[in-house]
Structure 1
């Protein structure tokens, strides 16, 4: 299973930031930072996520912390709980999308 998560925010200063996470539990101990940026780069990350129907989760505080990590750097253990919540959201969104594509209904 390969979970991809996107966290984005619009900080009060007006400069949008985005961080994309990658997690493959079969090959990784923890999620890693796949992409990050601010301003136009953040907009491009968000646009790519939309193009590929990658669910996005907005959390300004989490993005602020994650944006300080290096690309391909694993998230630190103190962020496991928060990132697990984001990945749960992503997984549930993916499952809902698959059910809709297969013609299933949601109540």
Structure 2
């Protein structure tokens, strides 16, 4: 099992067909992605099995259709968290 830290940042624009991978990396780059997210208050969801499948997506490309459902669940979870924080 590979223990290298991995991170993928996704961006979803409702006017586009699917979320895009806007940052991805392993090791030190993953650490930097996570640090920037934490610094900017961007939610971090830890799902190694999803990251392992997203890490090979090309930068600024839409995620593959087979990941739509799991990514939609993650985005819905984040949306609910944001709603609670705003209340």
Same fold flag (TM > 0.5): yes
* Contiguous gaps of at least 5 residues in structure 2: none
How far apart are 1:48 and its partner, in Å?
0.7
1:4-19 to 2 correspondence within 5 Å? 12-19=1-8
- For normalisation by structure 1, the TM-score amounts to 0.76
Structure with greater proportional strand content:
1
Paired position in structure 2 for 1:24: 13
1:60-97 Cα deviation digits (max 9, x unpaired): 11101100110011011111100001101111121122
- For normalisation by structure 2, the TM-score amounts to 0.93
Paired position in structure 2 for 1:66: 54
* Contiguous gaps of at least 5 residues in structure 1: 1-11, 100-107
User: Which structure would you say has the larger Rg?
Assistant: 1
Structure with greater proportional helix content:
2
Q: Which runs of 4+ in 1 moved over 2 A?
A: none
